């Protein structure tokens, strides 16, 4: 099972090596502006299956296919007026659109996990764009973390979690946005399936009407929305005004001056999102018995931060997994 995981530079030689590995059916973690993805050629069933194995991910959870631009995305999914409006406004960027799948487009059945829809994303990260253009095909890519754990925002996070299980990691430095893409379903009424790096308010402004909300957890259209997700090992206590004995405080804003880790002393939600997963890892590594988290405003990208924190705090089926 163990192989040597190569660390690739984000230059032409590194990208060329990544493309060779992808073409050969390998697994390559790559930076995007949201988080690092674990990429495989979306047309090769065995390569896609290897993603699930490396992550220990349940088979029923579908994967996002990454492409370089809207034109390529339209080969794999059907874009109605709403999907086109959103793609025009926000691609490339931290937005995934779930649209009806074109069944004969050559994407492995494992990517959509048997659904009749597909999640498509055009990332704006420079390295991701270069890789997708050079590869010239769809790259299936969940976040590059073991299933249920915190998403990686740096190459070292991927090495910590998946070294020996994947072929390579392109090291593109720290992710700019820091939380995963916003997912909007465009197969009936536009629906927010996961808050993320693109504020839902911005999507609603582009559509000219409000988004519907995700179907309840466990329903077929939102299979990834497991209650416990993005979990550090230590338990989380949300909306905390300070740390209790044994806890480390993950603060936000000027009020949390004595916090060991402050997501944004200035109270800037964009900065807090960029720091979130790295600071959760640091809090975990500190050996604290628990992580207390300051209240975070439920607005803009703050909705994505709170969503990830609530999932991290949810009861877990398998502690420590």
Where on the chain is the footprint of ligand TXA (CB under 6 A)? Answer: 32, 34-35, 37, 61-64, 96, 98, 112, 115, 117-119, 121, 141-143, 180-181, 183, 193, 221-224
Q: Is 289 helix (H, G, I), strand (E, B) or coil?
A: coil
Q: To the nearest whole angstrom, how small is the minimum distance from the Cβ of residue 294 to ligand TXA? A: 25
Q: Which residues pair with 39 in a beta bridge?
A: 28
CB closer to Mg ion out of 146 and 300: 146
Number of residues written out for the chain: 321
Which among ligand TXA, Mg ion, none contacts residue 77 (Cβ within 5 to 8 A by kind)?
none
CB closer to ligand TXA out of 15 and 240: 15
Which among ligand TXA, Mg ion, none contacts residue 251 (Cβ within 5 to 8 A by kind)?
none
What is the Cα–Cα distance from 273 to 270, expressed in whole angstroms?
5
Contact code string over 38-77 relative to Mg ion, x by CB under 5 A:
----------------------------------------
CB closer to Mg ion out of 230 and 279: 230
Tell me the backbone φ, ψ of residue 31, rounded to 5 degrees. Answer: -80, 140
Tell me the backbone φ, ψ of residue 77, rounded to 5 degrees. Answer: -135, 160
What is the Cα–Cα distance from 201 to 89, expressed in whole angstroms?
13
The answer to whether the beta carbons of residues 225 and 196 sit under 8 Å apart is: no
Residue with tokens 């069933």: 45
CB closer to ligand TXA out of 44 and 181: 181
CB closer to ligand TXA out of 224 and 302: 224
CB closer to ligand TXA out of 163 and 221: 221
Q: To the nearest whole angstrom, how small is the minimum distance from the Cβ of residue 179 to ligand TXA? A: 8
Q: To the nearest whole angstrom, how small is the minimum distance from the Cβ of residue 273 to ligand TXA? A: 12
Burial-class residue 188 by CB neighbours within 10 Å (0-12, 13-18, 19+).
Answer: exposed
Q: To the nearest whole angstrom, how small is the minimum distance from the Cβ of residue 212 to ligand TXA? A: 14
Which among ligand TXA, Mg ion, none contacts residue 223 (Cβ within 5 to 8 A by kind)?
ligand TXA
CB closer to ligand TXA out of 224 and 251: 224
CB-closest chain residue to ligand TXA: 224
Contact code string over 105-144 relative to Mg ion, x by CB under 5 A:
--------------------------------------x-
Q: To the nearest whole angstrom, how small is the minimum distance from the Cβ of residue 94 to ligand TXA? A: 6
Residue/partner pairs of 280-286 with CB below 8 Å, 24 or more apart: 280/150, 280/232, 280/250, 280/312, 281/150, 281/157, 281/232, 283/232, 283/234, 283/248, 283/250, 284/232, 284/233, 284/234, 286/248, 286/260
Tell me the backbone φ, ψ of residue 102, rounded to 5 degrees. Answer: -85, 110
Q: Which residues pair with 283 in a beta bridge?
A: none
Q: To the nearest whole angstrom, how small is the minimum distance from the Cβ of residue 143 to Mg ion? A: 3
Burial-class residue 212 by CB neighbours within 10 Å (0-12, 13-18, 19+).
Answer: middle
CB closer to ligand TXA out of 179 and 292: 179
Q: Strands 247-251 and 261-262: what pairing? A: parallel
Q: To the nearest whole angstrom, how small is the minimum distance from the Cβ of residue 16 to ligand TXA? A: 21
Segment 142 to 161, residues that bind Mg ion, using CB under 5 A: 143
What is the Cα–Cα distance from 272 to 275, expressed in whole angstroms?
5
Q: To the nearest whole angstrom, how small is the minimum distance from the Cβ of residue 183 to Mg ion? A: 11
Residues near Mg ion (CB under 5 A) are: 143
């Amino acid at each position: 099972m163990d192989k040597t995981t190569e660390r690739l530079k984000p230059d032409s030689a590194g990208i060329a090596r990544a493309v060779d590995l992808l073409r050969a059916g390998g697994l390559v973690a790559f930076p995007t502006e949201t988080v690092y993805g674990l990429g495989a050629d979306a047309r090769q069933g065995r390569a896609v299956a290897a993603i699930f194995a490396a992550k220990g991910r349940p088979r029923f959870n579908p994967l996002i296919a990454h492409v370089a631009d809207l034109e390529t995305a339209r080969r794999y999914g059907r874009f109605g007026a709403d999907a086109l409006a959103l793609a025009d406004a926000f691609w490339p960027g931290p937005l995934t659109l779930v649209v009806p799948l074109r069944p004969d487009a050559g994407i492995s059945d494992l990517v959509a996990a048997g659904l009749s829809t597909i999640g498509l994303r055009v990332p704006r990260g420079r390295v991701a764009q270069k890789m997708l253009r050079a590869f010239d095909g769809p790259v299936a890519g969940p976040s590059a973390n073991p299933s249920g754990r915190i998403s990686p925002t740096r190459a070292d996070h991927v090495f910590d979690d998946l070294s020996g299980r994947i072929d390579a990691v392109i090291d593109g430095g720290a992710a700019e946005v820091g939380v995963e893409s916003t997912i909007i379903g465009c197969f009936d009424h536009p629906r927010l399936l996961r808050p993320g790096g693109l504020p839902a308010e911005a999507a609603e402004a582009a559509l000219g009407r409000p988004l519907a909300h995700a179907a309840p957890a466990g329903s077929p259209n939102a299979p990834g929305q497991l209650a416990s997700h993005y979990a550090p090992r230590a338990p989380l206590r949300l909306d905390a005004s300070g740390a209790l004995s044994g806890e480390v405080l993950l603060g936000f804003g000027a009020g949390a001056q004595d916090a060991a880790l402050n997501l944004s002393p200035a109270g800037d939600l964009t900065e807090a999102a960029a720091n979130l997963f790295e600071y959760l890892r640091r809090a975990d590594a500190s050996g604290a018995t628990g992580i207390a988290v300051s209240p975070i405003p439920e607005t803009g990208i703050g909705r994505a931060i709170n969503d990830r924190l609530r999932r991290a705090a949810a009861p877990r089926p398998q502690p420590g997994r």
